[in-house]
Amino acid sequence: MGIRHPLIHEIAKDTYLINEFGLVNMYVLVGAERSLVIDAGMGYFDLRATVESLTDTPYDVAITHAHPDHAGMMHQFERVFLNEKERPSLAWAARRDFDLEEFERNNRLHIGDWDVWEVTEDMINRGSLETEILPLEEGDVFDLGNRRVTAYACPGHSAGQHYFIDDGARIAFTGDCCNYNNGTRFAASTFIRDLKKLRAGYGITYDRIFTGHSTYCGTLDVKSHDIAVVDGLIEAFRSLLRGDAVIGERHMQLFPERPPFKVLLWGPVVKYPHEAGSGPLVCPNFNPDMLWEEGEAHVIP
């Protein structure tokens, strides 16, 4: 019998990673006066009860972006913080009729070993509350009493993607804005500038990165993400602007029957749990016809 409950790990003092069946990570940051929950997973356990078992302080819920593996349980909470540009995605991401077949389809990439996990239809728990959406903007600060968590925008993977830097645990919680399977639908030059801001930390020192999918997906480890992946993404998109990028093809894991799409290949070999062998850093969501913001000088950031 496989694991039928989320795994919880304390990755720093009063800082918890909740792993939902190898698919996605959520985080609970416990402060002296308030707590913060980052992301709301897919929808296969009682996230609210889990959060409230970890903290007895009032808490806020902030969502990095409105994809179904990050916003799926938002209706377990009265209110969540989310950037306004993400609202159009909620009709899909936060549906109550999500079923096991859709879970398995979403997990073709994320789940590493079905011998480890066991998920059944009766475990679905997406919540039923009419959740209030509160705006999340760059520079918003969640003051937890003894630690401050600041939100920053990094559109690319989605239009309103935000990440969070915690000055207490010295961790950047980056959602899907910088991992080994990422990219941008917008101007590559703008994405590079946003990644450089992340790398610099806005003057807030952080030692580790934890993404929405750990390192990368499907495994039981809870290692922090290699900060160098940000440098890899920057250089990958610089190669696109220079005109010497290596372009490949890949089938989308959610819809393998569709024709392959172009991907930007760069950097070190990274092993993917769902594939035999290994592959390079992959940036699938880029638009090769949109390299520069309209009217800007073609100077590589």
Segments making up each domain of the chain, as ranges: 7-234
Give the CA angle between residues 232, 236, 242 to the nearest 5°: 140
- CA–CA dist 90, 131 (Å, integer): 11
Give the CA angle between residues 171, 111, 107 to the nearest 5°: 105
Contact call for residues 205 and 241 (beta carbons, < 8 A): no
Task: Estimate to the nearest angstrom the gap between the alpha carbon of 268 and the chain centroid.
Answer: 21
pLDDT at 272: 43
- CA–CA dist 286, 264 (Å, integer): 8
Q: Which CATH class is domain 7-234?
A: alpha beta
CB atoms within 10 A of CB 277: 7
Contact call for residues 217 and 109 (beta carbons, < 8 A): yes
Q: Which amino acid is at 298?
A: H
Q: Which residues in the chain come in under a pLDDT of 50?
A: 216-217, 269-279
- CA–CA dist 239, 203 (Å, integer): 27
pLDDT at 89: 93
Residue 265, token pair as written in the block: 């290949």
- How far is residue 232 from each of residues 157, 181, 265, 281, measured CA to CA in Å? 16, 11, 10, 8
pLDDT at 66: 97
What are the backbone dihedrals phi and psi of residue 224, each rounded to the nearest 5 degrees, phi first? -70, 155
Taking Cα atoms as reference points, which of 64, 213, 71, 216 lies closest to residue 149?
Answer: 64
Q: Which residues pair with 19 in a beta bridge?
A: 7, 25
Q: What does R_g of the chain's alpha carbons equal in angstroms?
A: 18
- H or E stretch covering 149: strand 148-153
pLDDT at 106: 67
Residues 6 or more apart whose CB falls under 8 angstroms from that of 78 comprise: 129, 131, 132
